[in-house]
Chain A
């Protein structure tokens, strides 16, 4: 490690910011990959890895990645749900790595729903 100057603090802090956001639980958007047995068998793990690398490459620090269980639509796995804060969640189905990257750029970062891959907007009502 070289000696640092006051102006270096910001660069280090930037690098650490994503981590801090994750720990504070304050994120702008949340992407959930459905990882039931079915999802994993259909390749959900690859989707997760693709999302993680995309976030890292683009230095995205305000998006939370999580998993959840089977979304109940096993035949259309791998699936993920994108929730932008304050907007209805959108489910995407039959994903592969390319689609995932497109969705990440267009929807998660750009705010435009990728209608071609989306199952539908909104969620089932719970209870």
Chain B
């Protein structure tokens, strides 16, 4: 019967869906090529009506990209290449046999883990902000609605007064995820109460911390959650317009945001008379001016108005006088993305997650010397150990863990002895670091902490806007001292000087860029002071990083004569016959460390 074989219609879902990650990380690993290859292969095999390929936002496990999840079986495939596609389609889609060789292997020698839900990286996380990651096509509003999207806004508009919304937000205990951790409901209340006919809200998507990509991923994988959060905020605060201030360097996020805004407008979820409930609110996207300081709220506002992105003195706070002197409420992307869930499930539910003072979850971008780099969402109060070793899978190459740096360039370094620290705003502050926006850099034993401090201060010197003297000059002076120490020209009073300068800069800078800039120095001095002294007094870099203070040599006992080091040396400083111990000529050596990294027998020594 012809009717029975009629092909399924446009809304059909088929029997299988391949969720290919199209987050920036996987895309740079050519996931879009993998997707094309899949489409082609599926067409060729006549499976087009049965199998749907969905490009999702970032799934978080960036270390293993490009990744794909095969549903309904829940199989997690990783490190896919376009050339792998024919085999994968033949085996899994046609013959129904999941392909081991593309599965995740926790560590060498262990069996592969087929199911996403069994992989530690995923099953130790708790997803609230990233609830839809990898599960929806971020370019289709219906998919968001299919996962309870816009129910919070409907509920708010139908049954709550603006004051009730603000009260609910305050009771939830949500604190700003952009860095300072200010209670969101309280901030909304300030802006609502501020005198002014019209008000404005802003989503801060500038995300300037090096290595951080939480906000980018949220927008890429679930842009509607941010839009819905903002619409709820607009209702509560009494704002008719919103801006998303987004980094120029995020083209994919920007594109998805535009698509999402267009679709929301078509459904009447942005614009006039939203949901037929009388709310008028629209959003425009503003491309950032490209400096780190643009993320600071007063600079951001200045940049939005078309002026130089320079901070100004507060008060007045933006809640009193922001964009074009309108009362303005500014929140971070992740803060906004929390809002719909809180309104749908209630303040009690949200505040039951986390610690006394810090509620809900936090998204971290875990990078550095860790096996599973990626995007991780955990409840507040999770230990550093759980993040680095449980979810992060520990340190690669059998090396020792040394420290984690949290909070972005102006955060601090936390040593191994504090691995059991439970992460929340207060605990991080107590140990001399900050939550910041959620950057988390793992460092192994081959990291020099003086060099780390130097690196972050260099970034801050470059990014200081120059408006106030303490930040412009003070941070530059501190950086100069660190450069000297790393170059082997440290002086006995350098440490005292650094501490003194740090206090001045902290206390007298105009904005938090300068206010927190000394953190990397102070926290490394607190926990790794002996490394500073080794540089200054003994002329040694214990981690073997600072070139001026180290010498390479080859241990004749340990060297097996494999010739690997001689082959990687760019200046021909290493000689020796096969299977004979090699020697290194220090007069030629440029201390690039290539031999050290390449040796499999720990025979290259650094001192």
Report if A72 contacts B (CB, 8 A): no
Q: How many residues of B contact A (CB 8 A)?
A: 47
Nearest-neighbour CB distance to chain A for B560, whole angstroms, equals: 43
Report if B96 contacts A (CB, 8 A): yes
Report if A45 contacts B (CB, 8 A): yes
Cα separation A45 to B145 with both chains bound (whole Å): 33
Report if B74 contacts A (CB, 8 A): yes
Stretch at the interface among A63-71, A87-95, A107-115: A63-71
Cα separation A16 to B144 with both chains bound (whole Å): 9
Asked, given contacts A9-B151, A13-B145, A15-B146, whether A53 binds B94 with beta carbons under 8 Å apart, the answer is: no
Q: Is the CB of B157 within 8 A of A6?
A: yes
Proximity string of chain B (42-69) to chain A, C-beta cutoff 8 Å, 1 when within and 0 when not: 0000100110000000000000000000
Hey, which chain B residues are within 8 Å of A66, CB to CB? Answer: 15-16, 72-73, 96
Hey, which chain B residues are within 8 Å of A18, CB to CB? Answer: 13
Q: Is the CB of B15 within 8 A of A67?
A: yes
Cα separation A48 to B15 with both chains bound (whole Å): 9
Proximity string of chain A (31-51) to chain B, C-beta cutoff 8 Å, 1 when within and 0 when not: 010011000100001101111
Q: Is the CB of B96 within 8 A of A32?
A: yes
Q: How many A-B residue pairs have CB under 8 A?
A: 124
Q: Is the CB of B146 within 8 A of A12?
A: yes
Report if B266 contacts A (CB, 8 A): yes
Q: Is the CB of B267 within 8 A of A67?
A: no
Q: Is the CB of A35 within 8 A of B94?
A: yes
Report if A5 contacts B (CB, 8 A): yes
Closest chain A residue to B151, Cβ basis: A9
Hey, which chain A residues are within 8 Å of B16, CB to CB? Answer: 22, 65-66
Q: Is the CB of A49 within 8 A of B145?
A: no
Hey, which chain A residues are within 8 Å of B276, CB to CB? Answer: 3, 5
Hey, which chain B residues are within 8 Å of A15, CB to CB? Answer: 11, 142, 146
Closest chain B residue to A26, Cβ basis: B72
Tell me which of B13, B143, B275 contacts A22 (CB under 8 A). Answer: B13
Closest chain B residue to A40, Cβ basis: B94
Nearest-neighbour CB distance to chain A for B273, whole angstroms, equals: 8
Report if B71 contacts A (CB, 8 A): yes
Report if B314 contacts A (CB, 8 A): no
Q: Is the CB of B15 within 8 A of A25?
A: no
Q: Is the CB of A5 within 8 A of B275?
A: yes
Report if B583 contacts A (CB, 8 A): no
List residues of B (274-289) whose CB comes within 8 Å of A's CBs.
275-277
Stretch at the interface among B2-10, B106-114, B425-433, B500-508: B2-10
Tell me which of B15, B151, B157, B268 contacts A65 (CB under 8 A). Answer: B15
Report if B150 contacts A (CB, 8 A): yes
Q: Is the CB of B72 within 8 A of A3?
A: no
Asked, given contacts A3-B268, A23-B17, whether A46 binds B72 with beta carbons under 8 Å apart, the answer is: no
Q: Is the CB of B145 within 8 A of A25?
A: no
Q: Is the CB of A53 within 8 A of B268?
A: no
Instruction: Name B's interface SS.
Output: loop
Hey, which chain B residues are within 8 Å of A56, CB to CB? Answer: 8-9, 11-12
Report if B154 contacts A (CB, 8 A): yes
List residues of A (4-29) whose CB comes within 8 Å of B's CBs.
4-6, 9, 12-13, 15-25, 27
Report if B135 contacts A (CB, 8 A): yes
Cα separation A31 to B269 with both chains bound (whole Å): 39
Hey, which chain B residues are within 8 Å of A52, CB to CB? Answer: 8, 12, 14-15, 49-50
Q: Is the CB of B5 within 8 A of A49?
A: yes
Q: Is the CB of B96 within 8 A of A4?
A: no
Q: Is the CB of A23 within 8 A of B95?
A: no
Closest chain A residue to B140, Cβ basis: A16
Q: Is the CB of A69 within 8 A of B95?
A: yes
Report if A1 contacts B (CB, 8 A): yes
Nearest-neighbour CB distance to chain B for A59, whole angstroms, equals: 10
Hey, which chain B residues are within 8 Å of A25, CB to CB? Answer: 71-74
Q: Is the CB of A6 within 8 A of B275?
A: yes
Cα separation A65 to B151 with both chains bound (whole Å): 30
Asked, given contacts A6-B157, A15-B146, whether A20 binds B135 with beta carbons under 8 Å apart, the answer is: yes
Nearest-neighbour CB distance to chain B for A63, whole angstroms, equals: 10
Tell me which of B11, B17, B147, B269 contacts A4 (CB under 8 A). Answer: B269
Tell me which of B8, B151, B266 contacts A53 (CB under 8 A). Answer: B8
Report if A76 contacts B (CB, 8 A): no
Hey, which chain A residues are within 8 Å of B14, CB to CB? Answer: 52, 65
Q: Is the CB of B275 within 8 A of A4?
A: yes
Hey, which chain B residues are within 8 Å of A46, CB to CB? Answer: 5
Chain B residues with CB under 8 Å of chain A are 1, 4-9, 11-17, 19, 46, 49-50, 71-74, 93-97, 135, 142-143, 145-148, 150-151, 154, 157-158, 263, 266-269, 275-277
* 5 A-B pairs with least C-beta separation: A16-B146, A3-B268, A68-B96, A65-B15, A6-B154
- Some 18 contacts from A to B, beta carbons below 8 A apart, are A6-B277, A9-B145, A12-B142, A12-B146, A15-B142, A16-B146, A20-B135, A23-B17, A36-B95, A49-B50, A51-B15, A56-B8, A64-B15, A65-B50, A66-B72, A67-B93, A68-B96, A97-B1
Not counting A20-B147, A23-B17, A52-B8, a sample of 12 additional A-B residue pairs whose C-beta atoms are within 8 angstroms of each other reads A6-B154, A6-B158, A6-B277, A9-B150, A12-B142, A13-B145, A25-B71, A35-B95, A64-B72, A65-B15, A65-B50, A98-B4
